[in-house]
């Protein structure tokens, strides 16, 4: 069986270092906001080329806190892609604001800059760009729109650690880059974890207070805050894995190259363009008979996933928010997309097997 994901196997090369780090943290007696978190924040800021990084409890929290930092009035409108993962939209709702969906570009699966302006009005306060599947959005055009309309720009980088557009890193284009270190992400912890990156010191200090009960000095609460702290154990693991992130990314890009060069033309493949350094958190193809293809692959011992089967505006819990709005491009993607195995734990020979079976479909 070729698994879609095997996190035990993926983390095996790190077991020894993880164990050592865990024991060190255990005996330190300091488990929240200590040296490990400080060190990881500095290392990750350096990695992304941001001035500051603030460790948080999850990617969702990173998105919520980024919005909270701006103190928009309730029901402010925030623009977001209609095909993003639910967390980006949930963050807007949890922060007390209104998600305004904009269709993606079918070539990149990212928010279509040409469709943004028509959704902007005096209630619009921010744009959240998800760098979906590991490809950065068209940030030059989007940053220009934000500047023109005085909007805040938040990047959802949960799938894009180390991805670049025109030589610039995900997480450095906007006011904030929001990262998730959920175990399956390209940089994954052994539990929940997240972070924000920013170049602005005032925003960094505000997020540091917000994650810790709105407090900058012990028992002094300057803001209505949250409890959203990255913990010492996870930070220790993340520092170990960050050193290997370039290698993890390179491995995934090599596997992606194999798919791109060898899959037959029946499948719609991800776009490759010299402006982008894609990190392939997900390698998706599209095919009109997606469900049949998934079954066929499973019958040949190959597991796949769908990112995602139901678009956000059709999710049961969200029907009251999006009423009967229709997003045909998002719907088309959700009906035809299939994610193929591509991880640090997969070998080239396994990907060759997937290609061979797929080309017989
Ligand atoms: C994983 C993910 C998130 C949420 O991250 P968590 O750490 O699970 O809260 C947000 N946005 C996108 C695009 C994601 O893939």
Per-residue model confidence as pLDDT tens digits over 185-238? 999 999 999 999 999 999 999 999 999 999 988 899 999 999 999 999 999 999
d(CA 149, CA 359) in angstroms, rounded, equals 48
Tell how far CA 216 is from the center of its chain. 28
Cα 159 to ligand 1 centroid, rounded to whole Å: 8
d(CA 278, CA 281) in angstroms, rounded, equals 9
d(CA 10, CA 188) in angstroms, rounded, equals 10
119 and 254 share one domain: no
Q: Which residues are marked as active site?
A: 185
Q: What is residue 340's three-state secondary structure?
A: strand
Per-residue model confidence (pLDDT) at position 295: 98
Residues whose CB is less than 8 angstroms from the CB of residue 262 and which lie 6 or more positions away in sequence, other chains included: 352, 355, 359
Q: What is residue 224's three-state secondary structure?
A: coil
* Ligand 1 atom showing the smallest separation from residue 60 Cα: 9
291 and 230 share one domain: no
Q: Which helix (H) or strand (E) holds 195?
A: strand 194-198
Which residues is 227 bridged to in the sheet? 212
| Domain range enclosing 190 | 7-242
d(CA 167, CA 136) in angstroms, rounded, equals 11
265 and 224 share one domain: no
Per-residue model confidence (pLDDT) at position 324: 85
79 and 155 share one domain: yes
Residues with CB under 6 A from ligand 1: 58-60, 84-85, 87-88, 130, 156, 158-159, 180, 182, 192, 194
Question: Using one digit for the tens of pLDDT, what is the confidence trace for 275-329?
Answer: 999 999 999 999 999 999 999 999 999 999 999 999 999 999 999 999 889 999 9
Please state the domain count of the chain.
2
d(CA 318, CA 148) in angstroms, rounded, equals 31
Does 1 fall in a domain?
no
């Amino acid at each position: 069986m070729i698994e879609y994901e095997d996190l035990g196997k993926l983390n095996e090369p790190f077991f020894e270092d993880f164990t050592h780090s865990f024991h060190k943290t255990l005996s330190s007696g300091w488990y929240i906001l200590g040296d490990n978190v400080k060190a990881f924040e500095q290392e990750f800021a350096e990695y992304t080329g941001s001035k500051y990084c603030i460790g948080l409890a999850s990617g969702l929290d990173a998105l919520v806190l980024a919005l909270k930092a701006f103190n928009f009035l309730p029901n402010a409108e925030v623009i977001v892609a209609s095909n993003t993962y639910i967390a980006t939209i949930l963050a807007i709702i949890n922060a007390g604001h209104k998600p305004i969906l904009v269709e993606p570009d079918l070539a990149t699966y990212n928010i279509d800059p040409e469709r943004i302006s028509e959704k902007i009005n005096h209630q619009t306060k921010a744009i959240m760009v998800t760098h979906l599947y590991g490809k950065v959005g068209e940030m030059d055009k989007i940053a220009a729109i934000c500047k023109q309309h005085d909007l805040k720009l938040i990047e959802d980088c949960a799938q894009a650690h180390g991805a670049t557009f025109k030589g610039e890193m995900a997480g450095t284009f906007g006011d904030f880059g929001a990262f998730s270190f959920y175990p399956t992400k390209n940089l994954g912890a052994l539990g929940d974890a997240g972070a924000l990156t920013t170049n602005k010191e005032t925003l960094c200090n505000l997020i540091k207070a917000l994650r810790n009960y709105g407090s900058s000095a012990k028992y002094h609460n300057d803001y209505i805050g949250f409890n959203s702290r990255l913990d010492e154990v996870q930070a220790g693991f993340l520092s170990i894995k960050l050193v290997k992130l370039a290698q993890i990314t390179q491995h995934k890009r090599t596997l992606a190259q194999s798919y791109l060069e060898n899959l037959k033309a029946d499948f719609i493949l991800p776009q490759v363009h010299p402006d982008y350094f894609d990190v392939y958190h997900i390698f998706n193809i599209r095919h009109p008979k997606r469900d049949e293809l998934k079954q066929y692959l499973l019958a040949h011992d190959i597991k796949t996933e769908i990112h995602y089967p139901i678009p956000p505006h059709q999710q049961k819990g969200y029907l009251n928010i999006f009423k009967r709005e229709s997003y045909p491009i998002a719907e088309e993607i959700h009906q035809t997309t299939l994610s193929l195995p591509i991880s640090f734990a997969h070998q080239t020979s396994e990907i060759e097997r997937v290609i061979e079976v797929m080309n017989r479909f």
